[in-house]
Structures are given as structure tokens and as C-alpha cells.
């Protein structure tokens, strides 16, 4: 048996070498399907890994409560309406009344023009409380975080996001310098590490942090907040805490049954789930395209194998006359089809790995490979090889050696 396989493999290689262009095109048909499948699966894995990293950066076991409501007037449009009904007392009551809540952190965010000398930017200014850095995993690149007295005394201090720092100061040391928020001078005490876009779509490098009391009392003079963060003791309590927070706030805001909430309550897992759904959709569409590409490649090899049988009847007749059995002929053509499909799969995996490395480097995604997609592509190529080779092999084995030898 091994000797028969060896002889047939030598014949396969010799024939494929004789028809180089035909062989290359057959291999490329399968390679493109493999590249599509593996690259899409790798991108999906990288996106999931990135979402997991973003979730970890955003904060551990968080529930985010935001002021506002949404309306859908028609044609698929959603309008978000701000609200001034969310209070600091709501955050305090959540901490006191809801089980499994470890900590809360109220904040206020608003876009402001920010200026240093002749440089101007628009920044998302966030008034933060003392424990904000612990709940949101804030990392300082230059300088320091606010000290307690700066919160207690409503001091005009600011921590700049990394893009804000680059746009306003360039290579100049920002610490101790003053930036103008409208006409209010704020002393720069720190710069945040580059963090990119968070799970809610906000650019964290285009924000500035101000002590919460300074923001709502000295700069805006308001009695409401836009957001507060709730840290739950364990991720298994996130959904339960969401429901309890919603019930509590509806009672506090006197919202009747059937009326819309004037707030949003989202868990960190909800944000991850939304991202995962989008990633899954991309993966499904990519896999559909990959299967179509594989199918077209397989049909191409089937057509070529049928043409090969017609062209090589004399060769088949000579082999049969020299003692080759029908099984030998079937094995030869099956091996030829399998050689084409598996070679295409190996080439595709190699190219897909290079493409994945390039995408990871330039798109700044964490590198990840889908081992399952590689395994599936090899199995698919093997099945396609059997599919594309079996019928032509059977046709080849049925060739009458006498007629084949005397055909002109």
C-alpha cells in the first residue's frame, strides 16, 4: 500500500509540474478561501481581545448611570435628550440602599474650549470625585492625581488627556502651567497616559479631569450631575444591581408606570456584549464569503480534474495495461485533488498569518490567532479534495484500457 501511494505521489507531482499554470490557479482558488476564513477569524479574535482589554481598562464590575432619555420618532432614528434630574444624592442613596454596591463616584461632563497661549482645542471636561481614579483605573503619564485638599477646597486644578497635552504643549513641560477654560485659569498638575477610545465611544485622550466640586460649584454652579459610576462587589451581581438601581431611581424621580426613564443604567458587560455582537456579525459575513470562495475553488478543481481525465486517457490505458488496478487509478486522481486543495490551504494559512501580523501592527490590535479557523480550513480543504477528486477518479478508473491505447 505504501509503495502504491509513493508511486502515485510521484506521478501526481510530475503531472502537476507539467501543467504549472493550471496547478497554480487551482491552488490559488483554495488559498483565497483559506485566507478569507483565517484572516476574518483572526481579526475577530483580535477585536474580542481588544474589547476585553478595553473593559479591563474601563473599570472592574462597573454599572454606569447616565442622565437623559432616548426617543425614536421614526425611520430608525434615535434622539438622545439630556436631563437635569440626576443628583448627587441619587448616587449616595444607591450606595446606602443597594446590596453588593461597594462604591459610587459621581461626575459631570461637558465639552469646553480650552486654550494655552495661541493654541486652542475643544475638550470633554469631566468633574471627578476622589475615588474616580480607583473605579476607572486612571493612569498618570506626567505629574500626579489630585490630592484631597484640592477636592475639599474647590481648587482650580486640571489633569490633561494625552492628545490635549500634545496639541496644547507639544514638547513643552505642562506641569505648573495654566490653561484657560473659557476665562477660568486652571493649573495643570498631571497628564493621563494614552488610553484611546473607551467602550462607550468616547476618546479618553481628548478629555480633561477637574475636581468634581470645582466643576459643579465654581465653574458651572449646577445642582445636578450627568453620570455616576457604581462598583459592584462581583460581576455576577451586575444584572441584579442594574435592576435594583433602576427601581430605586424610578421611585426617587417619581416616574410612573409606562413613563420613560430619565436616566440610562448600563453594566460594563452590556457594553462588551454590544461590541461582541458587532464582532460576531463581521465574523459571520466573513465566514459566508469564505465558504463561497472555498466552494468556487472546489468547483474549479473539479472542472480541471474532469478535463485532466479526458486528456490523460492514454496514460490511464498504459498504466492499466502495465498492471495498475482500478484502485490505483482512483488513488492517483484522489491524491492529485487532495494535493491541490491541501497545498492551497497551507499557502492560504501562511499568507493569512502575514496579513494578520500586518493588521495587528498598523491597526494597533492585540495580536491573536484563531487556531480553530486553521483547523477548519484544513478540514474543509481535505473534504473539498475528496469532493473534487472522487468523481473524476471514478471516471478515470472506468476508462477501457484497450480503447484508450488505440485512441488517436
Tens place of pLDDT for every residue, the chain, 408 residues? 555 556 556 655 666 666 677 777 777 878 888 888 888 888 888 877 777 777 666 677 888 898 887 665 555 555 667 788 899 999 999 999 888 888 999 999 988 899 988 889 989 999 998 888 888 878 889 999 999 899 889 899 999 999 999 999 888 899 999 999 888 899 999 999 888 777 666 788 899 999 988 998 888 888 889 999 998 888 788 888 888 999 999 989 988 888 888 888 888 776 666 566 666 776 777 777 777 777 777 777 777 777 776 666 666 666 666 666 777 777 777 777 788 888 888 998 999 999 989 988 887 778 888 888 888 888 888 888 887 777 776 766 666 555 555 554
Rounded to whole angstroms, how far apart are CA atoms 286 and 397?
39
Q: For the chain, give every domain's residue range.
A: 2-54+274-406, 84-261
Q: Give residue 56's pLDDT.
A: 67
Rounded to whole angstroms, how far apart are CA atoms 345 and 337?
12
Q: Give residue 191's pLDDT.
A: 93
Rounded to whole angstroms, how far apart are CA atoms 225 and 91?
10
Rounded to whole angstroms, how far apart are CA atoms 389 and 391?
6
Cβ–Cβ under 8 Å, residues 218 and 73 = no
Q: Give residue 41's pLDDT.
A: 84
Angle (nearest 5°) at CA 219 between 215 and 223: 65
What are the DSSP E strand ranges found in 176-268?
178-181, 184-192, 207-211, 227-232, 263-267
Residue 66 is placed in which grid cell? 447616565
Question: Reduced to 3 states, what is the DSSP secondary structure of residue 240?
Answer: helix
Question: Reduced to 3 states, what is the DSSP secondary structure of residue 407?
Answer: coil
Cβ–Cβ under 8 Å, residues 51 and 279 = yes
Q: Give residue 408's pLDDT.
A: 44
Of the candidates 350, 258, 341, 349, the residue with the CA atom closest to the CA atom of residue 299: 341
Task: Give the burial class of 62: count Cβ atoms within 10 A of its Cβ; 0-12 exposed, 13-18 middle, 19 or more buried.
Answer: buried
Task: Give the burial class of 129: count Cβ atoms within 10 A of its Cβ; 0-12 exposed, 13-18 middle, 19 or more buried.
Answer: buried
Question: Reduced to 3 states, what is the DSSP secondary structure of residue 98?
Answer: coil
Q: At what angle do helices 268-311 and 371-397 cross, to 10 degrees?
A: 20
Cβ–Cβ under 8 Å, residues 298 and 387 = yes
Q: Give residue 175's pLDDT.
A: 92
Task: Give the burial string for 162-194 (b: 16+ CB within 10 Å, else e).
Answer: bbbbbbbbeeeebeebebebeeeebebbbbbee
Q: Give residue 163's pLDDT.
A: 92
What are the DSSP E strand ranges found in 38-98?
62-67, 69-74, 77-81
Q: Give residue 401's pLDDT.
A: 59
Q: Give residue 405's pLDDT.
A: 54
Q: Give residue 171's pLDDT.
A: 83
DSSP 323: T
**pTM over 0.75, yes/no:** no
Please spell the DSSP secondary structure of 247-310, one letter per residue.
Answer: HHHHHHTTPPTTSPPSEEEEEHHHHHHHHHHHHHHHHHHHHHHHHHHHHHHHHHHHHHHHHHHH
**How many other CB atoms are found less than 10 A from the CB of residue 66?**
20
Amino acid at each position: 500500500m505504501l509503495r502504491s501511494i509513493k508511486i502515485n505521489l510521484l506521478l501526481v507531482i510530475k503531472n502537476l509540474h507539467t501543467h504549472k499554470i493550471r496547478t497554480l490557479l487551482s491552488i490559488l482558488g483554495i488559498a483565497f478561501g483559506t485566507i478569507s476564513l483565517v484572516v476574518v477569524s483572526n481579526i475577530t479574535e483580535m477585536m474580542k481581545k481588544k474589547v476585553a482589554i478595553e473593559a479591563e481598562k474601563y473599570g472592574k464590575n462597573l454599572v454606569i448611570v447616565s442622565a437623559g432619555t432616548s426617543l425614536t420618532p421614526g425611520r430608525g432614528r434615535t434622539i438622545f435628550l439630556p436631563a437635569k434630574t440626576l443628583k448627587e444624592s441619587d448616587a449616595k442613596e444607591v450606595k446606602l440602599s443597594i446590596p453588593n454596591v461597594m462604591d459610587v463616584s459621581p461626575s459631570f461632563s461637558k465639552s469646553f474650549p480650552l486654550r494655552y497661549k495661541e493654541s486652542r482645542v475643544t475638550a470633554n471636561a469631566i468633574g471627578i470625585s476622589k475615588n474616580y481614579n480607583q473605579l476607572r483605573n486612571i493612569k498618570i503619564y506626567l505629574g500626579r492625581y489630585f490630592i484631597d485638599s484640592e477636592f475639599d477646597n474647590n481648587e482650580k486644578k486640571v489633569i490633561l488627556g494625552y492628545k490635549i497635552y500634545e496639541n496644547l504643549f507639544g514638547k513643552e513641560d505642562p506641569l505648573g502651567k495654566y490653561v484657560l477654560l473659557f476665562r477660568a485659569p486652571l493649573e495643570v498638575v498631571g497628564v493621563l497616559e494614552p488610553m484611546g477610545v473607551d467602550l462607550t465611544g468616547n476618546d479618553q485622550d481628548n478629555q480633561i479631569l477637574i475636581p468634581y466640586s470645582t466643576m459643579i460649584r465654581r465653574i458651572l454652579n449646577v445642582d445636578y450631575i450627568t453620570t455616576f459610576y457604581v462598583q459592584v462587589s462581583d460581576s455576577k451581581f451586575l444584572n441584579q444591581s442594574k435592576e435594583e438601581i433602576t427601581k430605586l431611581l424610578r421611585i426617587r424621580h417619581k416616574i410612573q408606570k409606562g413613563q420613560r426613564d430619565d436616566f440610562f443604567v448600563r453594566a460594563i458587560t452590556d457594553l462588551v456584549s454590544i461590541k461582541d455582537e458587532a464582532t460576531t456579525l463581521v465574523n459571520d459575513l466573513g465566514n459566508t464569503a469564505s465558504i463561497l470562495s472555498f466552494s468556487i475553488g472546489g468547483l474549479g478543481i473539479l472542472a480541471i480534474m474532469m478535463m485532466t481525465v479526458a486528456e490523460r486517457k492514454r496514460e490511464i490505458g498504459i498504466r492499466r495495461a502495465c498492471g495498475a488496478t482500478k484502485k490505483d487509478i482512483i488513488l492517483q486522481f484522489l491524491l492529485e485533488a487532495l494535493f491541490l486543495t491541501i497545498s492551497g490551504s497551507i499557502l492560504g494559512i501562511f499568507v493569512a498569518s502575514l496579513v494578520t501580523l500586518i493588521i495587528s501592527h498598523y491597526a494597533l490590535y492585540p495580536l491573536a490567532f484563531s487556531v480553530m479557523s486553521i483547523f477548519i480550513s484544513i478540514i474543509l480543504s481535505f473534504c473539498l479534495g475528496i469532493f473534487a477528486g472522487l468523481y473524476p477518479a471514478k471516471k478515470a478508473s472506468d476508462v477501457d484500457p484497450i480503447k484508450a491505447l488505440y485512441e488517436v
